[in-house]
Amino acid sequence: MSETSVALEALRSLDFPRQRVREVEFLMDGDDRRIGQHYSALAREIAALGRQGQSVAYLTIGDAMTYSTLGYLVAALKREAPELPRRVLPGITSYATAAAMTGFALGEGKERVLILPCPDDLSTLTADIEHNDVVVLMKVGRRLNGVLDLLQNMNILEHCALAHRLGLDGEVVLPSLNVRPEAGRLGYLSVLLIRKHPPEVFLKVYFIGAGPGAADLITLRGARLLGQCRVILYAGSLVPEAVLEHASADAERFNTASLDLQEQISLYRRAQQEGLDVARVHSGDPAIYGATAEQMRALRELGIAYEVVPGVSSFTACAASLGAELTRPGVTQTVILTRASGRASPVPDAENLASLAAHQASLCVFLGGHQLEQNVAELLRHYPPETPAALVQRASQPEERRHVATLGTLLGGLKLSDWTLTTMLLVSPALHDPTELQEVSRLYDPAYAHRFRRAHTGEGERTRRTCRPGHLAGPGRN
């Protein structure tokens, strides 16, 4: 009589007349003839009860048709009493319960899953694991130690799970075997879930533009994602702590100012192993001097998905601070973003500052605080000295400073060492005081009609209307 008490134990909370319960021997071993005789005899007993008008319930643990003796009995009933109605009710198998309790996916996509009783010859088990993605091993018993040795040698113990006496006294659930358990009696009434490769974890790295530094100049999407990610890497030299107020209090934070690329990649790899989303916070907009390309390449190699959330770039924050429009009609319609050549990444020769200055457009120099004199000298080769110019430091932050002059007078009397960090140099004929406006855009001219507005004739009448209901203003029509 093996494990009958387990089936009864499973029913302990149910109310039914115990005197009507009969334990039967679940014969599993032996030759086919002996098994056939055993279950034929049982089928005849059940048939006799059935013919007296009684219903019989045959109870097994787990699912009745999975590695269970019910299959023998059903075959015997078909032989001995084909006229008797019978119905098999499914149950929850031990391995489905084990999978649910350990969070172990039993096959994803096209993975191959093999369910088998543990073989005596463990070399065949090695082949089974190699030819499948997941192996569900039942009836391990005394072979557990040998199986653990094998999994350890295959270096896959940590992504295997074990469940013992599920739902019964003495239940043990081990979602990972990274700490090898003592075999003892753990092999009995157990199921071992074996996965050949580590489970795929889905995480994403979000490159988030933090904006120029004010906590409320990050986008709503950026703030929401920052609040959701459990791991945060931020460029601490440029992103003030104030922006991180959007982060969750229990998120792990790493200031990348002191980390090299490899160290940052190690953090991405760690997050990948733990399945944690990462917020990679860059100042301004990540697409501008963000050094994101090399991180994206590493993420692709690691098979980690990423997404970019744009931000308010510092050059627009500087223009906002100056109250300037960088694209003034009739003055300049072009904005050039460039940077001072640095040790980390030189600017290509073809883009040298003097050649860009030749356009006399609006020009913003990033990362140039340490070589202001050199930059201004280069710019003066093409811009007239009376061209308006400005330095803006830490735009949008409480420490923001502005210095507005002409290019020719910009550095006079200035303590240059005060302007080395987080400073933008802007030069543009468009920075003139707006009261000196020479020419304006025709966009809001009452006589100018376009798709979305009729022109006024002068008497307040509109001559032409091209705006159709349901049309929204497109870019440039604000």
Ligand X SMILES: C[S@@+](CC[C@H](N)C(=O)[O-])C[C@H]1O[C@@H](n2cnc3c(N)ncnc32)[C@H](O)[C@@H]1O
- Rounded (10°) CA dihedral 378, 381, 383, 384: 130
Angle (deg, nearest 10), helices 122-130 and 144-153: 40
Q: How far apart (Å, rounded) are the C-alpha atoms in residues 231 and 254?
A: 8
Tell me which of 143, 282, 328, 453 binds ligand X, using CB under 6 A. Answer: 282
Q: Token pair of 45, please?
A: 């007993």
Do residues 192 and 177 make contact, with C-beta atoms less than 8 angstroms apart? no
Sequence-distant (6+) residues with CB within 8 A of 454 are 462, 463, 464, 465, 466, 467
Q: Does 280 bind ligand X (CB under 6 A)?
A: no
Do residues 335 and 235 make contact, with C-beta atoms less than 8 angstroms apart? no
Q: Does 222 bind ligand X (CB under 6 A)?
A: no
Q: Does 396 bind ligand X (CB under 6 A)?
A: yes
Specify the residue, 177 or 389, whose C-beta has the smaller distance to ligand X. Answer: 389
Q: Does 240 bind ligand X (CB under 6 A)?
A: no
Q: Does 367 bind ligand X (CB under 6 A)?
A: yes
Tell me which of 94, 338, 422, 428 binds ligand X, using CB under 6 A. Answer: 422
Q: How far is CA 338 from CA 158, 362, 393, 425, in A?
A: 50, 11, 17, 10
Q: Does 360 bind ligand X (CB under 6 A)?
A: no
Q: Tokens 């015997």 belong to which residue?
A: 76
CB of 309 to ligand X, least distance (A): 13
Q: Does 190 bind ligand X (CB under 6 A)?
A: no
- Which position's Cβ is nearest ligand X? 284
Q: Does 336 bind ligand X (CB under 6 A)?
A: no
Q: Does 392 bind ligand X (CB under 6 A)?
A: yes
What secondary structure does DSSP assign to 53-78, as a single string? Answer: T-------SS-TTSSSTHHHHHHHHH
Q: Does 353 bind ligand X (CB under 6 A)?
A: no
Q: Does 338 bind ligand X (CB under 6 A)?
A: no
Side chain identity at residue 348, one-letter code: P
- Among the residue ranges 105-113, 420-428, 446-454, 457-465, the one whose residues contact ligand X (CB under 6 A): 420-428
Residues in region 11-30 near ligand X by CB under 6 A? none
Specify the residue, 104 or 207, whose C-beta has the smaller distance to ligand X. Answer: 207
Specify the residue, 230 or 403, whose C-beta has the smaller distance to ligand X. Answer: 403
Q: Tokens 């991405």 belong to which residue?
A: 268
Specify the residue, 125 or 225, whose C-beta has the smaller distance to ligand X. Answer: 225
Specify the residue, 60 or 313, whose C-beta has the smaller distance to ligand X. Answer: 313
Q: How far apart (Å, rounded) are the C-alpha atoms in residues 272 and 278?
A: 9
Helix/strand/coil for 435? helix
- Among the residue ranges 61-69, 220-228, 276-284, 465-473, the one whose residues contact ligand X (CB under 6 A): 276-284
Q: Does 234 bind ligand X (CB under 6 A)?
A: no
Do residues 368 and 397 make contact, with C-beta atoms less than 8 angstroms apart? no
Distance, C-alpha 456 to centroid of its chain = 54
How many Cβ atoms are within 10 Å of 405's Cβ, its own excluded?
A: 15
Helix/strand/coil for 200? coil
Q: How far apart (Å, rounded) are the C-alpha atoms in residues 276 and 189?
A: 35
Specify the residue, 91 or 284, whose C-beta has the smaller distance to ligand X. Answer: 284
Residues in region 68-127 near ligand X by CB under 6 A? none
CB of 420 to ligand X, least distance (A): 9
The helix (H) or strand (E) run that includes residue 405 is: strand 401-406
Tell me which of 50, 62, 212, 222 binds ligand X, using CB under 6 A. Answer: 212
Tell me which of 318, 324, 372, 410 binds ligand X, using CB under 6 A. Answer: 318
Specify the residue, 114 or 320, whose C-beta has the smaller distance to ligand X. Answer: 320
Point out which residues bind ligand X (CB under 6 A).
Answer: 212-213, 238, 282-285, 288-290, 313-314, 317-318, 366-367, 392-397, 422-424
